[in-house]
Structure 1
Amino acid sequence: MLLLSLLLLGLPDITTTQEGHMKDYKYGYQGSELYDKKPFCSWTCLLFTLQWPGGFCQSLNEETLCTIPESIDTWTIHGLWPLRVLSCCNCWPMFLSDVQELQVELTERWPSLVKTKSSFHFWRDEWHRHGACAACVEGMNSPLRYFQICLRLRGQFDVYRLLEDAGITPSCERPYKVAEVHSVLALFLGDKHEIQCVTDDQGREVWFQVKIPLSRNLTLGCDHHGDAGSDPGWSLSPGHPCPPQVPFYYYPIDHQHPQQPCG
């Protein structure tokens, strides 16, 4: 009996431990200094990536896959991706309840544009592939905080308005050059942002994405050059840098015919 009592005294308080884990899960890891030492925390730059629905649909091979909700008429979030990360920790699952309070805004700002994937599955995939690595930073160390930051960045970078104010609007007839668009966006997105295109079925370059490099503290202009090759968020993207000497199109959004907005 004495031996059993001594053993019990040496055991941790199971209830307290479980409560601690639940607190970490809901509000973020408290022992961030340990989390930072993991291999997937070695990154120094992130890419905040916005996609243009009118161009995104051109990146899909099957015409019937693309869908643009009627409420979507502007740039949407593709993701926030730490660079130089081969894989993230798969130890942190995500549930809809984690972002329940953000669901309305996420649906508007970060919708799935693919019929076979719900918006929640899109968010969950982004969390598992990228968010769990971003969680090395205290301000993003839970699904809720990560998606809050992404929504805040989307509000900060209103690409549509910036372009519209400069007379750059979606068009089936008027192509644009990288230099003129870059000069407009550089004032607000930093000089290191990248304008990405896809090639449509007529061989035209079509703008579908812009990537904005950020440092760990979310300031503009992190030098990510040389990091792209080892980053899944970069290398698996269907786009490519828009050719500097070839004009590209900024297709309008067509909700009824998302992959054929210009007929």
Structure 2
Amino acid sequence: MWCSALLLSLSPAVVLLLQLPDCAATQEGHWEDYKYGRRDSETKQHCSWKCLQFTLQWPAGFCQSLDKKDLCRIPQSVNSWTIHGLWPLRVFRCCNCWPIFHSDIQELEAELNEHWPSLLKIKSSFHFWRDEWDKHGTCAACVEGMNSPLRYFQMCLKLRGRFDVHRLLEDAGITPSCDRLYKVVEVHQVLAPHLGDRHEIQCVTDEQDREVWFQVKIPLSRNLTVSCDHRTERDTSSPSGPGRRASLGHPCPPQVPFYYYPIDHQQPQRPCG
């Protein structure tokens, strides 16, 4: 009875947040659920994953994955590999019980804009982050170090610093070019000591049917150590949306050289003319 009286005394917005199952729970309990996420049977069934996939994308390669030439944008401040996502494998989506608000990650916004920007004109960076949290972050939150929006995005930024692909490649003389071609084996030799032997070098096919380096997928165990036997895990991480091709990315063919296009901020989808 006291719960009904309490709801009548609150504003409609607060009432909406508090109308969770089991009205006998305390108000404090409701706020705990909202802040830290639900831990009932709805979420527990999505916590059985063993491997994650941390994915970095090369902006110039990403632009080649779009059918529509005017959709891609690369902010002037972006000149390196950016985060695509951190995805628990085996599950497609966790639950809809944990919304994210701009204020949750506002303190990270400058870093996120630099290292995890939206590269689509039709999607703001926050909408990109929100989609990643809704689809993947709520499942990654089964691990204590990522059990809130803030902690999840903090961890992604830490992993981006840990796996500095741009520096590793540059130190090995592997740099973006419109003319030079690379092979999987030479790139793998450079990255394997740092990303593990099971990392995947992915390409897309451009309009001229050339293989173009698109992203790197790094398998991680639940405790975020490099490598995880994810062969039995179902990868449902490939996103889709307006302007995306049916096949977003594929492992770069071992015997076919690929391009590592330079970034062109003015013509992001035609960096080599």
- TM-score, normalised by the number of residues in structure 2: 0.85
Q: Which runs of 5+ in 2 are unaligned?
A: 6-22, 241-246
Change over 3 Å in CA distance of 1:70–1:235 after alignment to 2: closer
* CA–CA separation in structure 1 for the residues paired with 2:222 and 2:120: 30
Give the partner amino acid of 1:105: E
Task: Identify the residue that residue 11 of structure 1 maps to in structure 2.
Answer: none
Moved more, 232-241 or 95-104: 232-241
Runs of 4+ in structure 1 off by over 6 angstroms are none
Q: SS where residue 50 of structure 1 aligns?
A: strand
Contact 1:51 1:208 in 2 (8 A): yes
- Cα displacement (A) at 1:134: 0.5
* Residue identity (%): 71
- Cα displacement (A) at 1:87: 2.3
Q: Return the match for 1:63 from 50, 54, 69.
A: 69
- Cα displacement (A) at 1:17: 2.8
* CA–CA separation in structure 1 for the residues paired with 2:115 and 2:43: 33
Alignment partner of 1:161 is 2:167? yes
Matches within 5 A, 1:36-47: 38-47=44-53
Residues 49-77 of structure 1, C-alpha deviations (whole Å, 9 max, x = no match): 00000100000010000000000000000
Give the partner amino acid of 1:244: P
Contact 1:42 1:85 in 2 (8 A): no
- Cα displacement (A) at 1:123: 0.1
Contact 1:35 1:41 in 2 (8 A): no
- Cα displacement (A) at 1:232: 1.9
Q: Which runs of 5+ in 1 are unaligned?
A: 9-13
Alignment partner of 1:138 is 2:144? yes
Give the partner amino acid of 2:237: G
Q: RMSD of the alignment, in Å?
A: 2.2
- Cα displacement (A) at 1:234: 4.2
Contact 2:92 2:237 in 1 (8 A): no
- Cα displacement (A) at 1:102: 0.6
Task: Identify the residue that residue 112 of structure 1 maps to in structure 2.
Answer: 118
Task: Identify the residue that residue 18 of structure 2 maps to in structure 1.
Answer: none
Change over 3 Å in CA distance of 1:161–1:133 after alignment to 2: same
Q: Return the match for 2:28 from 7, 14, 19.
A: 19
* CA–CA separation in structure 1 for the residues paired with 2:256 and 2:75: 31
Task: Identify the residue that residue 87 of structure 2 maps to in structure 1.
Answer: 81
Change over 3 Å in CA distance of 1:36–1:146 after alignment to 2: farther
Q: Return the match for 1:240 from 234, 240, 250.
A: 250
Change over 3 Å in CA distance of 1:155–1:15 after alignment to 2: farther
From the two aligned structures, give the one with the greater helix fraction: 1
Change over 3 Å in CA distance of 1:35–1:163 after alignment to 2: farther
Contact 2:93 2:134 in 1 (8 A): no
* CA–CA separation in structure 1 for the residues paired with 2:42 and 2:186: 40
Q: SS where residue 173 of structure 2 aligns?
A: coil
Task: Identify the residue that residue 264 of structure 2 maps to in structure 1.
Answer: 254
Change over 3 Å in CA distance of 1:204–1:156 after alignment to 2: same
Change over 3 Å in CA distance of 1:240–1:171 after alignment to 2: same
* CA–CA separation in structure 2 for the residues paired with 1:37 and 1:257: 43
Q: SS where residue 46 of structure 2 aligns?
A: helix
Q: SS where residue 214 of structure 2 aligns?
A: strand
Q: Return the match for 1:51 from 50, 57, 64.
A: 57
Alignment partner of 1:231 is 2:235? yes
Moved more, 14-23 or 46-55: 14-23
* CA–CA separation in structure 2 for the residues paired with 1:240 and 1:170: 20
Task: Identify the residue that residue 187 of structure 2 maps to in structure 1.
Answer: 181
Residues 77-132 of structure 1, C-alpha deviations (whole Å, 9 max, x = no match): 00000001132111111110110111111111100000000000000000000001
- Cα displacement (A) at 1:19: 3.1
Alignment partner of 1:170 is 2:176? yes
